[in-house]
Amino acid sequence: MSAFLNAAATTDTAEGPACAEPLPVLGRDVTVPLVTGGEVTYAALDYAASAPALQRVWDDVAAYAPYYGSVHRGAGYLSQLSTDLFEQSRATVAEFLGCRPADQVVFTRSTTDSLNLLAAVLPAGCQVFVFETEHHASLLPWADAQVTYLNAPRTPAQAVATLERALADRTASIEEGHGPALVCVTGASNVTGELWPVKELAAAAHAHGARIVLDAAQLAPHHPVSVQELDVDWVAFSGHKLYAPFGSGVLAGRADWLQQAEPYLAGGGASRKVARRADGGVDVEWHTTAARHEAGSPNVIGVYSIASACKALTEAGFDGLVARERHLIAKVRSGLAEVPAVRILSLFGDEAPRVGVISFVVDGWNSSHFAAALSAEYGIGVRDGLFCAHPLVRTLLGSEPQAQGECGAPEAAPGERSLNAIRVSFGAGTPDEHVDRFVRAVKELVADGAKWQYRTEEGRCVPAV
């Protein structure tokens, strides 16, 4: 291993293990203009969509960039170094996820790509069980399988009971020729932030001979994730939510279905040997390692950035990260609770454990209008809409139309109810000032209204010029 790799892998974090302060992230000093005049430091409160890059990740990538080279098939020094870095990153991610010795770590583009890869390698006749509460990344990839959609539970215990009943019904009719089964479940909701009972759901799945894949896109940036402790078969997550925005993701877990299926993408890197046949065709011998599903030139910078983020979070210490996030969650929830017009969306109730993702609606406001005012008048970036979890948000808002206000929601046709919400999300890089400003802004907007006029432009609510 080169000296460069060893040095890059052991870069110290500024905070140390206690992590009493926010981790340094890019963009923390960026200022943005306000429509009312002047500028303010941008409050990035949309971590659930894309978290800012950790400064540690950026520094590690910048230090490696001059040594960038092709991976796996180059004889030169930079290619050899890049290959070592790529494979070392695979080992780092496996350790971060608590993988079993025989598990494979496959690098993809995102959580969505990871779950589509798993969908592509399902054995014939596989039945998939998925709650309607899932993000579209884990709700939609299973079109070629027999899918059972499960209703939204209202408690963690109900989630387990719902899955057990569905699997028991399948087991009772197993003699009718059912193939294998897969359960897909989120670790933390991208709408409510609530933690799901993953370990209990995994136990229920395995008790009925099914496998389970964990969508950890919203869990891994906030809590430790261990494949072994949770006893899941696969885990998927995205780099851009883990403070590593360079276009990579991960699917990690059992190797057998991955090894037995045709490659997700056919091409160089996935093939061990290709030979012409006498009849004019080609014979291909595919790799049985993770390379089988990593065709093409690997995104070594994206992969290394994920490994760097894994190291940074581990070294900072999840105990401190979780404690600080709970402090921020309490600030936001208690502040919003002081505004009668605000309703926080929840499946499991106020006492449910959660990560820093909170969605809400405001009486008398269209959510698109409210989010636009937060941005234009306070320099606060949040998200509004249905958050790529349409069935869940529609379930939570189904009986509550929103007023159109200054701007209409783009998905609401004339005469239809406007169903969308506002989501505020934060993480390891969020300072107290950002959430304090957010709570103050919500109170002022509800009490006094927007200071500016807004209009709809190309489906978005924007300040009127």
Mark whether 388 is an active-site residue. yes
Which DSSP category does 246 fall into?
S
Alpha-carbon distance of 243 to 263, in angstroms, equals: 29
Contact 203, 231 (CB under 8 A): yes
Q: Give the chain's count of helices (H) and strands (E).
A: 14, 19
Alpha-carbon distance of 167 to 172, in angstroms, equals: 9
Catalytic residue among 19, 99, 310, 388: 388
Cα dihedral across residues 218, 224, 227, 230: positive or negative:
negative
The enclosing H or E element of 397 equals helix 390-397
Alpha-carbon distance of 83 to 348, in angstroms, equals: 45
How many residues comprise the chain? Answer: 465
Contact 181, 129 (CB under 8 A): yes
Contact 227, 99 (CB under 8 A): yes
The enclosing H or E element of 77 equals helix 77-96
CA distances from 96 to 393, 405, 429 (A): 32, 46, 20
H, E, C per residue of 169-235 = HHHHCHHHCCCCEEEEEECECCCCCEECCHHHHHHHHHHCCCEEEEECCCCCCCCCCCHHHHCCCEE
CA distances from 65 to 77, 98, 307, 363 (A): 14, 29, 15, 50
Collapse the DSSP code of 268 into the 3-class scheme (helix H, G, I; strand E, B; otherwise coil) and give the result. coil
Closest CA to 248 of 141, 433, 109: 109
Cα pseudo-dihedral 255, 257, 258, 261, rounded to 10:
150
- Structure tokens given for 195: 């933690």
- Structure tokens given for 92: 């780092």
- Structure tokens given for 212: 């389970």
Collapse the DSSP code of 424 into the 3-class scheme (helix H, G, I; strand E, B; otherwise coil) and give the result. strand
Closest CA to 116 of 198, 215, 231, 48: 215
Alpha-carbon distance of 246 to 58, in angstroms, equals: 10
Active-site positions? 388
